[in-house]
């Protein structure tokens, strides 16, 4: 890839991002008028809704981050068995839509819930408490994965020095662990806060009269088709996400890079391991119970009146175009995985392996997509693409999902490219080896693990999303996840439960295949390294 070719690729990518990110957002802001703005701001309900959103987001963030921190320490700082099983169970909530968590809580603790009736509970789950519980279940797995990844790579050298000096475990935690976690914790806090404050699935399902900003926006657009008011709320919903993103970005830039010399290995401690087992087991049970309720509701005739085995709800779901919408979801998810991975990979190559103002622009706009809530993205796409050939097709769903979930896979491969020797392209240039050849023969083989992870990430999130696509899908292009809101509106909770199970099943298969593929790639890589080492030894012996 010569300099001219590189510039052309960067310009093409910049044009794609400007068309799919910048222009739609500008169109949304242009759609705001004075009348719509004043009608929202002067609404007596608006101040209460904003307060509700902030209160839910703050409380949920504190609980989610604290729980994730405790669980990540339990996994990485103990010697309990079955860590892989616990980790898989604790991340199951990431494989189903957020609205499913609210539905699971209603099945368990609603007015006619399973546990409500069995235990004669005097309270109900609707409102603030239910939204917080559902939001925690939805958001803590992401925080858990981020913190676990950070703790897995902590250097044990400072702890060894502290033990030699006689520093207590508590002081080690305060003086070594917390400072090490300070920067990642800020990222986790803002990520969780953004997830919660921009989510409408949980509050829509279980909020009752306790309305949040995303629900208000959803009601104005989907219920009343008022795009002017929706644009006002969308712009306001964009503010906290952007502020959180900017603060997180600035904090990252001030951090230092550390290198792991010795991986931390926890010592035997019966009391600690017992507490970690207990915490992980309780959290695992809490995660699994709602999924079990989906199975119960799906395969009984009519809970709790008739508990006999029945497939009526399965047949009803498929009779209501469940199979068609499943195929739509699979087509969209596969397309997003392929297109998103290709664009993210090429963009990261341009930003991580090339210099220049265009590379910096591409990097900034790529990570900026992380700060755009799905509802805002969906509305902006409606306003910008309405009337075009894309509108009302599966292609616009692919485009919206690619933009919506672009940042995380992009950062995965961007970080991988930064680890690989920066001089490869310079060496290639002196040997007249083109950039495409280096990309195909060196970089792609070195980053196959990351590519598999990117493909799985795009697919899983596209399979379960309900935010952006809820504004863009029609009867013929509807995705399976949107049937949950449809069935909930018609009080067909049993069918909603089955749809959640279908999404979970598909995503588990994809994650399982990704895990097997990565395992095979690592084995192949180890064998190749071993063969190379043998060849080198034989060469040395021949030389001697």
* pLDDT over 80 at 257, yes or no: no
Query: What is the average per-residue pLDDT within 67-83?
Result: 88
Please determine, for residue 444, whether its predicted confidence score (pLDDT) is greater than 70. yes
Residue-averaged pLDDT of the chain: 84
Q: Which helix (H) or strand (E) holds 171?
A: helix 169-172
Q: With 80 as the cut, is the pLDDT of residue 9 above it? A: yes
How confident is the model at residue 275, as a pLDDT? 92
What pLDDT is recorded for position 260? 46
Q: Tell me how far CA of residue 3 lies from CA of 8, 293, 348, 355, 462, in angstroms.
A: 9, 58, 17, 11, 35
For the chain, list the domains and their CATH numbers. 1-28+316-519 (1.10.3720.10), 44-215+253-310 (1.10.3720.10)
Cα separation, 322 vs 76, in Å, equals 41
For residue 205, what pLDDT band results from cuts at 50, 70 and 90? confident
Q: Where are the alpha helices (DSSP H) in 391-481?
A: 394-404, 407-419, 424-430, 435-438, 444-446, 448-464, 469-472
How many Å from the N-terminal Cα to the C-terminal Cα in the chain? 42
- Inter-residue contact 187 to 145 (CB < 8 Å): no
Q: Are 209 and 200 in contact (CB under 8 A)?
A: no
CA distances from 265 to 76, 81, 153, 154, 184 (A): 9, 14, 11, 10, 21
Q: Which residues pair with 302 in a beta bridge?
A: 306
Crossing angle of helices 98-109 and 493-543, in 10° steps, is 130
**pLDDT tens readout for residues 107-156:** 888 877 888 878 887 777 889 999 999 999 999 998 898 888 777 766 66
Highest mean pLDDT among 132-146, 188-202, 325-339: 325-339
Both tokens of residue 62? 């504190």
Tokens describing residue 117? 């009736």
The token pair that represents 196 in the structure block = 């919660």
- Interatomic CA distance for residues 177 and 390, integer angstroms: 50
More confident: 436 or 329:
329
Asked if pLDDT for residue 434 goes beyond 90, the answer is no
Sign of CA dihedral 31, 34, 40, 41: positive
Q: Is residue 176 over pLDDT 50?
A: yes
Which position has the token pair 């399976």? 480
Give the model confidence (pLDDT) of 503-544 as tens digits. 999 999 999 999 899 888 878 877 766 665 666 565 555 555
Q: How far apart are CA 441 and CA 432, in angstroms?
A: 14
């Amino acid at each position: 890839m010569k300099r001219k070719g590189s510039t052309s690729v960067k310009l093409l990518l910049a044009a794609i991002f400007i068309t799919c990110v910048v222009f739609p957002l500008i169109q949304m802001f242009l759609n705001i008028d004075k009348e719509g703005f004043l009608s929202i701001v002067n609404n007596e309900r608006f101040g209460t809704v904003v307060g509700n959103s902030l209160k839910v987001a703050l409380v949920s963030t504190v609980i989610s981050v604290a729980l994730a921190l405790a669980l990540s320490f339990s996994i990485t700082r103990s010697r309990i068995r079955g860590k892989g099983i616990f980790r898989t169970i604790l991340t199951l909530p990431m494989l189903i839509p957020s609205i499913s968590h609210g539905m699971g809580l209603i099945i368990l603790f609603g007015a006619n819930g399973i546990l409500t009736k069995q235990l004669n509970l005097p309270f109900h789950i609707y409102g603030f408490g239910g939204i917080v519980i559902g939001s925690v279940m939805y958001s803590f797995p992401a925080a858990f994965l981020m913190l676990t990844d950070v703790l897995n790579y902590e250097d044990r050298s400072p702890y060894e020095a502290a033990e030699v000096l006689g520093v207590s475990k508590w002081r080690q935690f305060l003086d070594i662990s917390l400072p090490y976690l300070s920067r990642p914790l800020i990222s986790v806090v803002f990520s969780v806060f953004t997830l919660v404050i921009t989510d409408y699935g949980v509050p829509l399902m279980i909020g009752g009269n306790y309305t949040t900003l995303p629900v208000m926006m959803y009601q104005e657009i989907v219920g009343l088709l008022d795009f002017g008011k929706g644009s006002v709320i969308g712009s306001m919903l964009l503010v906290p996400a952007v502020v959180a993103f900017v603060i997180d970005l600035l904090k990252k830039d001030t951090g230092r890079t550390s290198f792991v010399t010795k991986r931390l290995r926890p010592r035997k401690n019966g009391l600690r391991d017992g507490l970690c087992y207990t915490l992980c087991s309780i959290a695992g049970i809490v995660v699994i119970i709602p999924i079990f309720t989906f199975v119960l509701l799906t395969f009984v005739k009519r809970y709790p009146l008739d508990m006999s085995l029945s497939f009526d709800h399965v047949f009803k779901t498929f009779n209501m175009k469940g199979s068609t919408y499943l195929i739509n979801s699979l087509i969209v998810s596969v397309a997003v995985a392929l297109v998103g991975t290709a664009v993210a990979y090429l963009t990261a190559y341009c930003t991580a392996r090339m210099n220049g103002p265009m590379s910096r622009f591409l990097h900034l706009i790529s990570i900026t997509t992380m700060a755009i809530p799905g509802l805002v993205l969906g509305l902006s796409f409606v306003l910008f693409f309405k009337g075009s050939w894309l509108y009302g097709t599966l292609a616009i769903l692919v485009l919206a999902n690619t933009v919506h979930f672009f940042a995380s896979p992009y950062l995965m491969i961007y970080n991988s490219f930064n680890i690989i020797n920066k001089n490869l392209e310079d060496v290639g240039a002196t040997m007249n080896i083109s950039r495409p050849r280096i990309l195909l023969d060196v970089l792609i083989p070195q980053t196959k693990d990351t590519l598999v992870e990117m493909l799985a990430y795009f697919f899983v999130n596209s399979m379960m999303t309900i935010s952006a696509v809820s504004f863009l899908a029609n009867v013929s292009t509807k995705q399976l996840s949107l049937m949950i809101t449809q069935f909930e509106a018609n009080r067909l909770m049993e069918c909603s439960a089955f749809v959640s199970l279908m999404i979970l099943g598909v995503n588990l298969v994809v994650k399982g295949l990704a895990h097997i593929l990565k395992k095979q790639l690592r084995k192949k890589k180890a064998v190749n390294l071993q063969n190379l080492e043998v060849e080198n030894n034989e060469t040395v012996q021949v030389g001697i």
